[in-house]
A and B are shown apart, each in its own frame.
Chain A
């Protein structure tokens, strides 16, 4: 459950000036694995996520989710967007139960779990608030909770903490670690932040810029459960150094 497989996937955006966003990407993510896609902006890592979510179609190659080809978006793959993408006219609670509600589940079936999730992300007091009344970090917590409310087999996270300040980002990373360590859902996590990639994932896939391809895959073998205190450990620094050399940070082309 929750296995992802890309086989020689390419994506070209047609137009007056064709854009080759992805080139020959092959990647397998096992059940319950946490994989980070790391790369500079414009490297096609979000495109990869959009293909998997079913928002866009591949140009070449095959892409499977639990062995089946992906044709359209669906609640088996929960997407967390960078700017949360909550419905601004719905309260936190209504946003949280949007998916079970539109899928026709009975209130009794989703309410207890939704209450639990609201508590998990620490927003019980804000159930009736509108998204506009929340901070960026709180909005993203709703964005994560509403996805967990659908019991997805995989979480696809597109730079979910990219717009947050450094301190809030650390809190959110810790929250995600805690949640993931108890759920064990497959996660594909897009980021441009090396620290974040190393801290959270089992494997970091480094992508090159346009056309995007995976140039290096580095397994992160730090023990679980992890917490943000790992960020200053020597083994963390070693991984960071390895990734920086892989990304050729500092080199000017």
Chain B
């Protein structure tokens, strides 16, 4: 296993992965790291979009308070 594939997954997880995964090939480790990275990116994008949408639902009178709670 190359250190690139190994560290890509650990970077996405933020910690060392379980020892049992050491049987995976570089391609498999990279595939899983890519999926995890994509999941996080999609979630962040979805959250951004959802917050914009939510502010559109909140009545104008409360929008300022909610916006401050969300963005400081």
Genuine A/B complex: no
A residues with CB within 8 A of B: none
Residues of chain B having any CB pair with chain A under 8 Å: none
